[in-house]
A = this chain, B = another copy of it.
Amino acid sequence: MANSTIKGRAVIFTQGGPTAVINASWVGVVQGLMLNRDIQDIWGSINGIDGIMNENFVDLRAQTVETLENISYTPASQLRSTRRKPTAEDNARMLDVFRKHNIRYAFGIGGNDTSESLDIINDAGRAREFELRVFHVAKTVDNDLMENDHTPGYGSAARFVANAFRGVSLDNQCFGGLYIGVCMGRHAGFLAAASALGRRQPDDGPHLIYLPECDFDLEKFARDAGDVYRRLGRCVIAVSEGIEDATHTPVLQVLSAGGGLEKDSHGNVQLSGTGALADKLVEFLKDRLEKEGAAKKLRARGDTLGYLQRSFPDQSPVDREEALALGRFAASCAQSGNIDGSCAIVRASDNPYRPDYRLVPLKNVAGKTRRMPPEFIGPKQNDVSDAFIRYALPLIGELSPVGALDLTKKVKF
């Protein structure tokens, strides 16, 4: 794909749901572009592609080194975001702006929707004979992009989920009973799977993990939870918001009367930002286990981990470093004369863990979703595999120490 370079301005924008390290990604791009003499100005578009259409730009070269450094530690995007999927008119408008200001380089940090949008803008540029350099920089807490071993944003979100379940599992140990935590992840279960990463001992929670990659069956769910509860007097469960039954009906819909669920501009049902799934699952399980006689009055609680998963200010150091590095890699791709592509993380080595960065065709990532591979899912479809733990553990950084009471020192009478 090597080609001649071109002189002009660069614009950077962030799309879709933010992450704890999305700022690090665009700061990495800025750091890389600073070294590129073909780049006249580095502009940040405010609110994703909306800012391009409205000519709402911030001069990123004019930010101090200290400001950029601090921003790289800050969750969510200081460039703001949008979920707009560009129409043909939007593309025409963006190309007009690009031409007007001689913007020749566009860096979009986002998920598969963003890669698709960039691919479309690129095609539109070609059709209008306006030479562009267009790069997608992978980002998503869901970890669901093709061609990537994992994506920037996932490590920090996974760290939060691992810590959250470590904490609630210790909490649940105090009283016993059921606890259900619902994690983000519409199609891919990587975030719910990360709940396993805080376990140390065999009976640590979560005891069950349900992923959208597996058909969810309420009867099996009740059996699984009943088995754990009868064995331990407690059961901590992690669930992906996107779980569906064998007919692809969302479980929230199965448990509700259905209808009235809000959809976003991409036509997806709104599963985030409501506590309904956790509450309905808790209600179902409590009722079922009480009827089965597992307990007379079962303590049962549910939480929806919600927006904290992507915005909690506790970056995985590995994730932050990789976000910065992938951003710098994108800038270097532009300098090397590449025309377009998606910047992805691959795994150079497993032990010790080492990442590498690669430019892949935009279309390989655009609009596609990567799901958990079967080897990451446990044989009973209610947990992750050891292979998943080995895969994900290096991505979240070290967790704080935990200790356990030595119960072999019980007082005997």
CB distance from A145 to the nearest CB of B (A): 19
CB proximity to B under 8 Å, residues A172-225: 173-175, 179, 198
Judge whether B58 and A171 touch: CB under 8 Å.
Answer: no
User: Is A86 an interface residue, CB under 8 A from the partner?
Assistant: no
User: Is A333 an interface residue, CB under 8 A from the partner?
Assistant: no
Q: Which residues of B contact A276 (CB under 8 A)?
A: 275, 279
User: Is A153 an interface residue, CB under 8 A from the partner?
Assistant: no
| Candidates B71, B302, B306, B312; contact of A403 at CB < 8 Å | B71
CB proximity to B under 8 Å, residues A383-406: 399-406
Judge whether A406 and B275 touch: CB under 8 Å.
Answer: no
Interface string of A301-312 (1 = CB under 8 A from B): 111111110111
User: Is A358 an interface residue, CB under 8 A from the partner?
Assistant: no
A82 to B276, alpha carbons, bound, how many Å? Answer: 28
CB proximity to B under 8 Å, residues A55-98: 55-59, 62-64, 66-83
User: Is A43 an interface residue, CB under 8 A from the partner?
Assistant: yes
Judge whether B71 and A167 touch: CB under 8 Å.
Answer: no
Q: Which residues of B contact A404 (CB under 8 A)?
A: 67, 70-71, 74, 78
A215 to B72, alpha carbons, bound, how many Å? Answer: 41
A303 to B175, alpha carbons, bound, how many Å? Answer: 24
CB distance from A161 to the nearest CB of B (A): 11
User: Is A278 an interface residue, CB under 8 A from the partner?
Assistant: yes
A67 to B407, alpha carbons, bound, how many Å? Answer: 11
Q: Which residues of B contact A14 (CB under 8 A)?
A: 174
User: Is A18 an interface residue, CB under 8 A from the partner?
Assistant: yes
CB distance from A106 to the nearest CB of B (A): 15
Judge whether B272 and A301 touch: CB under 8 Å.
Answer: yes
CB distance from A64 to the nearest CB of B (A): 8
Known A312-B164, A401-B73, A403-B74; contact A81-B174, beta-carbon cutoff 8 A? yes
Judge whether B73 and A400 touch: CB under 8 Å.
Answer: yes
User: Is A44 an interface residue, CB under 8 A from the partner?
Assistant: yes
* A59, A75, A399, A403: most-surrounded residue (chain B CB, <10 A): A403
| Candidates B75, B179, B401; contact of A167 at CB < 8 Å | B75
Judge whether A411 and B74 touch: CB under 8 Å.
Answer: no
CB distance from A8 to the nearest CB of B (A): 15
Judge whether B402 and A175 touch: CB under 8 Å.
Answer: no
Report 14 cross-chain contacts, Cβ distance below 8 Å, ordered by A residue. Answer: A18-B174, A23-B403, A58-B405, A58-B406, A58-B411, A67-B403, A69-B403, A71-B403, A78-B404, A80-B173, A163-B312, A171-B310, A275-B302, A303-B308
Shortest Cβ-Cβ A-B pairs, 3 listed: A275-B275, A70-B403, A273-B301
